[in-house]
Chains A and B, each alone.
Chain A
Amino acid sequence: MPKTASLVTAAAALALIVLVGLPVLFILLQAIFPEFARGSFAEPFSKLAIITENDRLLTQARNTLMLAFVVIIGCLIFGLPIGIIRGLYDVPGARIWDVVFLVPFLIPPFIAAIAWMMTLQPRGYLEQLTGIDLGRFLFSFVGVAFVMTLNLFPLVYFAVSRAFEAVGGRFAAAARVHGAGPWRAFLIITLPLSIPAIAASLLIVFAMSIEEFGTPAALAARTGFEVLVTGIYTRLSDWPIDLSGAALGSVMLMALVLAAFMLQNWIATRRSYISQTGKPAEIEKAQLGPWRWPVLALFWLVALIGVVIPLAAILVTSLLGTISGGLTLGNLDLRHYAPLFSPGSRAAQALMTSGWLALATAFATAMIGGIVAYIVVRGTGRGRAVMDGLSVLPNAIPAIVLAVGVILAWNSPFLPITLYGTAAILLVAYIGILLPYPIRYAVARLRQISGSLDDAARVAGASQGRAMQHVTLPLMAPSLIAAMMLVFAIASRELVASIMLAPAGMRTVGTFVFAQFEQGSVQTGMAMSVVAITLTSGILLAVNLWLARRGGNAFTG
């Protein structure tokens, strides 16, 4: 292997070890040695009894799994049809829809849950407007799954639409030429070739729904079921805290995600899904024709439920003078926005902080993730084997667990200097938490791109670096850009790690909103959400329009 390549491999491996391996190691040590945080290795394994002592952990694990499966089904219902149509057909306003369906990521899940609560609960907005009270639906198992689905279905939409776009109509067209009907071509060509991307997105949905905290915390307590994450959080946030119990729960959570990841990996690697062989082909999407209006109606319906209603509820809440005053014209008031726009306000600082953190995280994760994915799919020899193992790690570790691991690792007494207590620690945590997106997206994408394209460039005299720069990278770009947009959206409202790691004096959008909700005014928290969502979607819309203007080259993502 050329020297630069092995250097890059080593650097990427080091990044994974530092960003993710270290926190995981410290969590495991904490799970085994209860006194580890105090620097002692006393009484190893004495806490393992928690697992068998009562069946609470196991009940939580069962609830977690059930919830995740229902959310996966929900995401398929909401995300799959529109994703397929977006990928294969020329949908009017396609790029606008992309931004619209990014919006659910910009809404902090727990704010979305509050918004649904204020809409559907007795005397909520829906009842005030129409007399219908859907409280019983919302505060049920299905209701929690419904709200979580609305946070997560865009993952399926984006992955599916990118995959189907890449597979394109070309393979299906070939099948049609050979006599297959449109449905047959879809079922035996397009769908199977897109399976790695769909499986990857479902895995992310699975991982995110089992590690999601906001929604179950806001809603599940009302329905009386606990999940693993709320259990871990309780152990971590209720004094006296139980680090070891939390670490044990985390290990269980990691095991679940790891199992799902293995399954997805098995699906993705047991056969070839190469669809980009380099044959020149204009990517031309099929026209919808008479289906144009029904399709648009479908997109509107999904957007109404997934985006418009929660956004409207957040906006309306931010405008209410008093909550108990209800939806009356006289009760509408802008006064809760005032604290946000006072000069030098903490809200403005929080927006700036979250903005640069999200931007830096998006670039850093895309860079590391792209390299890791490339080595995992295309690498050879020992570097690849090591990386294959390491790249699994970030997938298996929920945000809250990583945050605790980061605290334990970076506070360790043997470090001469530490990032802990500085803004950089948040960046380290964000990268560790969000690295899975670029890795998974890029791996799934690379599996669709034939290695012979690289080989052709090498035969034509290009160096490995040049081949990567001019061939593989442009082909990976759509998935990396999609992943970066996701990372930016999620990082700009990250909550759990921010609460636990932000140095004193530093505020992010997530912690500001959370603090308003816990201690200040619900309306100001909602007002801040409105401002943050507007800014972030504005930025993403601008990026998307810029990409559209550059259209026609390889960046068709």
Chain B
Amino acid sequence: MIRTFMLAASISLGASVAAQADTLTFYTAGPGGLADALSEAFTAETGITVNVFQATTGQVMARLEAEESNPQADVVVSASWGSAQDMHERGLLMEYVSPNAEMAPEFLSHSHYVAQGISALAIAWNTQSDTPRPSEWADLTDEAYRDLVTMPDPSQSGSAFDLVAGLEASMGEEAWDLLAALADNDMIVPGPNAAALNPVLQGAKAVVFGAVDYISYGRAAAGESIEVIVPESGTVIAPRPIMIFESTQNPDAAKAFVDFVLSDAGQALVAETFLMPARTDIEGLRPGINELNVIEIDEDAVAARRDEIIARFNETVIER
């Protein structure tokens, strides 16, 4: 046993020495393949090894908070813009404006963080579900979709939360009437994004209200009978901030990585996952931000009302 501990201790010592060398620790929300592709291409270009931790935004944030007294991450990508604001306010982020960030829209470029890519929320409809093709959020309250609608849980999916907040911003009280009508139509709220989409793939349900668009585009490209429909009345977008932590031991490598993610090559990799690239001059594989009717949300105001909005959602939909 003592030997086990000595062994473990020497492994750890070896590892902490190795960490001084040219390596970068990168925590990121999905898509998983993207993190690997970016880190491999970056290593090929610079020789710097990137250790990737990929999970959901919630898991990434939980890990960052738990590690607060002994921070590990150098660069972080989250799927929630608000989380970057929060960490910036707590003084955790390093100021850096990448030269490659110039072509990102101004509202997605901040002194301490910048969008890596953008997703939007949409309706994901199974074309073989024997239901009429929906075109608007409100269509899903129709009798034709009774017991056939799913929605990601706003308390587990940051983007679903943004959708609820966005609908409230654009429709006011009617947004809550819409959600109540969906609940009356037996919409289910089974969990995070994947949990909402998967029943629709097999046909147990017909349509997702508030699907993350790039995941659905990806499944459609893989041959699933899924169509992504963005309502003309408007939807919300979820920009994905990339940021450098103030605690990084390796700021030059971290900056180089951010530059690379925003470079032509990096943004092309982002586009391949069906996200909208953050840079407006890079072509996406799907409708871009200018083709969407984007509902703007005041992130600060919404974040402050998070508990209230979730409580009202639970009351209106889940505990109806």
**Chain A contacts to B: CB under 8 angstroms:** 11-12, 15, 18, 37-39, 114, 117-118, 121-124, 135, 217-218, 221-222, 224, 234, 236-241, 243, 321-326, 346, 364, 367-368, 404, 407-408, 411-413, 417-424, 427-428, 499-500, 502-506, 511, 515-522
Contact = CB atoms under 8 A, between A and B. Distances in A.
A417 B225 contact: no
B12 A419 contact: yes
A515 to B, nearest CB: 5
Contacts of B226: 324
Given A324-B128, A324-B203, A516 B32 contact: yes
Contacts of A239: 57-58, 61-62, 80, 83, 158
Interface of B: 1-2, 4-5, 8-9, 11-13, 15-16, 19, 25-27, 30-33, 36, 49-59, 61-63, 65-70, 72-73, 80, 83, 86, 126, 128, 153, 155-156, 158, 188-195, 198-199, 201-204, 215, 219, 222-226, 318
A504 B25 contact: yes
Contact of B66 (A15, A326, A364, A404): A404
A427 B4 CA distance: 11
Nearest to A518: B194
B67 A324 contact: no
A412 B69 contact: yes
Contact of A38 (B69, B126, B202): B69
A364 B1 CA distance: 8
B204 A122 contact: yes
B69 A504 contact: no
Nearest to B33: A520
B204 A135 contact: yes
A123 B30 contact: no
A408 B66 contact: yes
Contacts of B66: 37, 243, 404, 407-408, 411, 500
A12 B8 CA distance: 17
A500 B223 CA distance: 33
B12 A424 contact: yes
Contacts of A364: 4
B31 A221 contact: no
A243 B69 CA distance: 14
Contacts of B15: 421-423
A383 B19 CA distance: 41
A518 B29 CA distance: 11
Q: Which 4 A-B pairs have the closest CB atoms?
A: A505-B51, A519-B30, A504-B51, A123-B203
A427 B8 contact: yes
Given A121-B204, A504-B72, A325 B190 contact: no
A67 to B, nearest CB: 18
A506 B222 CA distance: 27
A515 B194 CA distance: 11
Contacts of A118: 202
A24 to B, nearest CB: 16
B53 A515 contact: no
B224 A517 contact: no
Contacts of A326: 202-203
B58 A121 contact: no
Contacts of B19: 421
26 contacts: A12-B1, A18-B5, A39-B69, A121-B204, A221-B195, A224-B318, A237-B59, A239-B61, A239-B83, A240-B61, A323-B202, A324-B224, A325-B223, A407-B66, A411-B68, A420-B70, A421-B15, A422-B11, A424-B8, A427-B8, A499-B59, A500-B62, A500-B63, A502-B53, A503-B72, A505-B51
Contacts of A420: 67, 70, 72
B27 A504 contact: yes
A417 B12 contact: yes
A505 B12 CA distance: 15
Nearest to A222: B190
Nearest to B223: A322
B68 A37 contact: yes
A252 B237 CA distance: 39
Contacts of B36: 346
Identify which of A39, A222, A364 gathers the most chain B CB atoms within 10 Å of its CB.
A222
A75 B57 CA distance: 36
A517 B55 CA distance: 11
A222 B194 CA distance: 14
Nearest to B72: A421
B62 A324 contact: no
A111 B80 CA distance: 27
A11 B224 contact: no
Identify which of B36, B83, B194, B225 gathers the most chain A CB atoms within 10 Å of its CB.
B194
Contacts of B12: 417-419, 422, 424
Given A121-B199, A346-B36, A413 B223 contact: no
Nearest to B198: A522
A518 B192 contact: yes
A367 B73 CA distance: 35
Contacts of B73: 504
Contacts of B83: 239
B103 to A, nearest CB: 27
A505 B35 CA distance: 11
Contacts of B190: 221-222
A408 B318 CA distance: 34
A11 B2 contact: yes
Contact of B65 (A18, A37, A325, A516): A37
A237 B155 CA distance: 10
Contacts of B1: 11-12, 15, 367-368
A241 B62 CA distance: 6
Contacts of A504: 25-27, 51-53, 72-73
A321 B30 CA distance: 23
A323 B155 CA distance: 27
B213 to A, nearest CB: 14
Contacts of B153: 221
Nearest to A512: B32
Contact of A240 (B69, B72, B86, B193): B86
A322 B199 CA distance: 13
Contacts of B31: 519-520
Nearest to B86: A240
A160 to B, nearest CB: 32
Contact of A515 (B27, B30, B198, B318): B30
B61 A323 contact: no
Contacts of A419: 8-9, 11-12
A354 B9 CA distance: 20
A238 B198 contact: no
B78 to A, nearest CB: 8
A134 B192 CA distance: 23
